[in-house]
């Protein structure tokens, strides 16, 4: 990467945890945090054994960590079951009748499920899976809206040791098909449709299209959610509610090895093909249990709301597994934040008395734009803690979040992590670590994070570099599904034995981390990861396109927007309708979130003499800057002049 990683942000404001908050907090001072952190780094065995000991194991582990770079085994020899830890574990006392899930659908329908009820539903659905010949180790695609059944399906898989792979409901049929092929899934769990801004998303139809022509899928289980007409393929498709008629609520949990695969979640990388990030059982559960407890400083009576969709890692770790493993009430909301009006979130907080809100900077920036009047209509005094995740939060958005949403009294935890890390890695602990707007502050327990230069040497304070992690941690990915070589190469080879995050960062003189964003060819659009080469592949698969280069452009609302430079084949004439067609084409291949915000037709793309597209130049052109920097390797300067003139 030739670009320098620069970070010009200078932020002087510091917010100490308020006395009232500190009093009830689990970690009460910077001193206590540092003591615990030191132990977690120097004696990880001891630290993590204590955390793991708070969970239920069918058989205790023999060793906390076996590390043969870059392959880790956490709690090897141990056996446990995730659904037991999320459900059965809480049935022995008063938590039994506490709400496990509070749910609101976009049209306004509501449900509450106690831990006991959720346990029953999970056991019954696990029996449905068994009835449909889904076995331990089988891969199951879950393509559902954010409804309780998504959590039920995930937990039911874990109950029998099946491996789920949740596909975000906004992804297209092609994306589903690719994922099925990559992991060799045997079943799909879906719904007839889901709601988005009042419209019905035809989920089952997308699944039908994905399965067209034959795949490894033998069974499709369909939940009736939206009541839209769908096709039922005899012999392949069954209705969720019908299947329930054949089963009872008794389903013994299968204790699996600590390293048994728990789930695969596909995410974008710097190549054209999404990677199946593989998470396993014991370490992942310990990681999300522990981060959830300390970062959100949980109390028994909390109503906790993470606004993420179930299709992203945040939905896995902090909508479903983290809260339930801790016996915490998790609120789920199916729809858009501005449906039917821009006060939907505030309405929900008031109605359910939400205490902890965990959301994304892109949402916060949208709220700012929609105006404070929408918040003023609602009583938000139940909130006591706010969280942010998904991308860097700009200090002004942070201040607005603190003042307007948190009424100036709630600490903000800006949590940095990734699909690959499984759990939160860099974050304030709200009762212990003073916060600075825009900084994710300090590493969580057991996380040995550092900022290094191109040679892997740690840089000094306030110098930008690459963010790496120097020691394994319990919830880390174990591999890219079916591709150990790619796993090694992508994450562990640039600096041998160190995990490369792909992010740029700097540390200030207090050791606080300031994340700049991705330094590889991955975009972060509205908190969603998109690989530039994935979008390029989609564009090039269109018959009119010769070449395509996709870059990100800074965007006030979405963080980044997608700009595509496209050259067409000789006989093709460019037009606005071709632009529309190309956007639709990307929508079909990947999903609506990947559609370019802008398409620019060009006669040629700027390339180095060795034929590499010079993205840095395109980025500058896309953001309307005059091209500075080094152009000495550019093959043809006139290309650049033409691109800039396109404005
Ligand atoms: C970015 C989402 C700054 C980062 C959990 C990372 C952040 C990518 C933050 C992972 C944060 C996430 N501050 N940047 N608090 N949280 N990121 O896999 O670039 O969807 O590498 O996981 O989001 O995105 P992913």
Residue % of the chain over a pLDDT of 90 = 86
Domain assignment of residue 449, given as a range: 19-386+395-505
Q: How far is the CA of 391 from the centre of ligand 1 (A)?
A: 5
The domain boundary, picked from 505, 532, 553, lies at 505
**pLDDT digits over 285-316, tens only?**
999 999 999 999 999 999 999 999 999 999 99
Residue nearest to atom 8 of ligand 1 (CA): 418
Same domain? 561 vs 634: yes
pLDDT of residue 321: 99
Q: What is the mean pLDDT of residues 236-260?
A: 98
pLDDT of residue 3: 44
Looking up residue 204, the CATH number of its domain turns out to be 3.40.50.12780
Which region among 2-11, 36-45, 520-529 has the lowest average model confidence (pLDDT)?
Answer: 2-11
Residue 634: pLDDT band (50, 70, 90) is confident
pLDDT of residue 641: 74
Q: Does a structural domain hold residue 473?
A: yes
Q: Does a structural domain hold residue 148?
A: yes
* For helices 30-42 and 44-52, angle between their N-to-C axes, nearest 10 degrees: 110
Burial 243-266 (b: 16+ CB within 10 A, else e): beeebeeebebbbbbbbbbbbbbb
Same domain? 462 vs 562: no
Residue nearest to atom 24 of ligand 1 (CA): 418
**pLDDT digits over 460-484, tens only?**
999 999 999 999 999 999 999 999 9
**Mean per-residue pLDDT over the chain, rounded:** 94
What's the structural domain count of the chain? 2
Residue 397: pLDDT band (50, 70, 90) is very high
| Res. 508: pLDDT tops 60 | yes
Test site for ligand 1: of 322, 416, 513, most ligand atoms within 8 A of the Cβ: 416
Same domain? 412 vs 531: no
Same domain? 227 vs 99: yes
**pLDDT digits over 400-452, tens only?**
999 999 999 999 999 999 999 999 999 999 999 999 999 999 999 999 999 99
Same domain? 470 vs 568: no
CB 290 within 8 A of CB 51: yes
d(CA 272, CA 254): 37
Q: Does a structural domain hold residue 511?
A: no
Same domain? 546 vs 483: no
DSSP 434-465: -B-TT--BSBPTT--EEEE-TTSPBP-TT--E
Q: Does a structural domain hold residue 9?
A: no
Same domain? 483 vs 422: yes
Residue 35: pLDDT band (50, 70, 90) is very high
Q: How far is the CA of 504 from the centre of ligand 1 (A)?
A: 11
Distance of CA 227 to the CA centre of its chain: 29
Same domain? 415 vs 544: no
Residue 193: pLDDT band (50, 70, 90) is very high
Same domain? 414 vs 474: yes
Test site for ligand 1: of 417, 447, 532, most ligand atoms within 8 A of the Cβ: 417
Q: How far is the CA of 528 from the centre of ligand 1 (A)?
A: 9
Q: How far is the CA of 187 from the centre of ligand 1 (A)?
A: 30
Same domain? 148 vs 90: yes
Q: Does a structural domain hold residue 517?
A: no
Closest atom, ligand 1, to C-alpha of 426: 15
* 513-518: strand order across its sheet: 449-452, 465-469, 499-507, 513-518
pLDDT of residue 636: 74
Same domain? 160 vs 245: yes
Looking up residue 600, the CATH number of its domain turns out to be 3.30.300.30
**pLDDT digits over 80-127, tens only?**
999 999 999 999 999 999 999 999 999 999 999 999 999 999 999 999
Same domain? 466 vs 500: yes
């Amino acid at each position: 990467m030739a670009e320098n990683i620069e970070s010009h942000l200078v932020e002087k404001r510091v917010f100490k945890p308020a006395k009232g908050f500190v009093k009830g907090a689990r970690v009460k001072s910077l001193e206590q945090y540092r003591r615990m952190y030191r132990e977690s780094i120097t004696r990880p065995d001891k630290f993590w054994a204590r955390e793991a000991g708070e969970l239920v194991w069918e058989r205790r582990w023999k060793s906390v960590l076996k590390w043969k770079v870059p392959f880790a085994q956490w709690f090897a020899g141990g056996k446990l079951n995730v659904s037991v830890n999320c459900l059965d574990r809480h049935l022995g006392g008063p938590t039994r009748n506490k709400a496990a899930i509070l749910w609101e659908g976009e049209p306004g329908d509501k449900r509450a499920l106690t831990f006991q009820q959720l346990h029953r539903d999970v056991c019954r659905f696990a029996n449905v899976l068994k009835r449909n010949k889904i076995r331990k180790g089988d891969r199951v695609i879950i393509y559902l809206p954010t409804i309780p059944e998504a959590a039920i399906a995930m937990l039911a898989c874990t109950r029998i040791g099946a491996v789920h792979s949740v596909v975000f409901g906004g992804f297209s049929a092609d994306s589903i098909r690719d994922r099925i092929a990559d992991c060799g899934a045997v079943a799909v769990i879906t719904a007839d449709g889901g709601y988005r801004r009042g419209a019905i998303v035809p989920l089952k139809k997308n699944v039908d299209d994905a399965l067209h022509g034959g795949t490894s899928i033998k069974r499709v289980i369909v939940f009736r959610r939206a009541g839209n007409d769908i096709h039922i393929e005899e012999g392949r498709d069954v209705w969720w509610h019908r299947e329930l008629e054949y089963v009872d609520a008794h389903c013994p949990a299968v204790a699996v090895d600590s390293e048994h695969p728990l789930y695969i979640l596909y995410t974008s990388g710097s190549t054209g093909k999404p990677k199946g990030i593989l998470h396993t059982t014991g370490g992942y559960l310990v990681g999300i249990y522990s981060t959830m407890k300390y970062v959100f400083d949980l109390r028994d009576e909390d109503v906790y709301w993470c606004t993420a969709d179930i299709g992203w890692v945040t939905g896995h770790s902090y909508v479903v597994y983290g809260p339930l493993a801790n016996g915490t009430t998790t609120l789920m909301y199916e729809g858009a934040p501005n449906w039917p009006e821009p006060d939907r979130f505030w309405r929900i907080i008031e109605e359910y008395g939400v205490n902890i809100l965990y959301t994304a900077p892109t949402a916060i920036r949208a709220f700012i734009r929609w105006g404070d009047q929408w918040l003023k209509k609602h009583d938000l005094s139940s909130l006591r803690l706010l969280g942010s995740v998904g991308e860097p939060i700009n200090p002004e958005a942070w201040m607005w979040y603190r003042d307007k949403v948190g009424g100036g009294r709630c600490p903000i935890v800006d949590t940095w992590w990734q699909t690959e890390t499984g759990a939160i890695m860099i974050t304030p602990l709200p009762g212990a670590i003073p916060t600075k707007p825009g900084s994710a502050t300090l590493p969580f327990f057991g996380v040995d994070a550092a900022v290094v230069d191109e040679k892997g040497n740690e840089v000094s304070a306030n110098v930008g570099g690459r963010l790496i992690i120097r020691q394994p941690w319990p919830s880390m990915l174990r591999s890219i599904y079916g591709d150990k070589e790619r796993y090694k190469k992508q994450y562990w080879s640039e600096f041998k034995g160190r995990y490369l995050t792909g992010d740029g960062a700097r540390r200030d003189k207090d050791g606080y981390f300031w994340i700049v964003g991705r330094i590889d060819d991955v975009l972060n659009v509205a908190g969603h990861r998109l690989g530039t080469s994935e979008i390029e592949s989609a564009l090039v698969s269109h018959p009119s396109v010769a070449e395509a280069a996709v870059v990100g452009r800074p965007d006030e609302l979405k963080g980044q927007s997608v700009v595509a430079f496209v050259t067409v084949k000789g006989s093709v004439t460019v037009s606005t309708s071709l632009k529309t067609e190309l956007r639709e084409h990307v929508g079909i291949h990947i999903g609506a979130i990947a559609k370019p915000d802008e398409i620019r037709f060009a006669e040629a793309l700027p390339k180095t003499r060795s034929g590499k597209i010079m993205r840095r130049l395109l980025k500058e052109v896309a953001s309307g800057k005059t091209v500075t920097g080094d152009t000495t390797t550019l093959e043809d300067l006139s290309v650049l002049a033409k691109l800039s003139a396109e404005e």
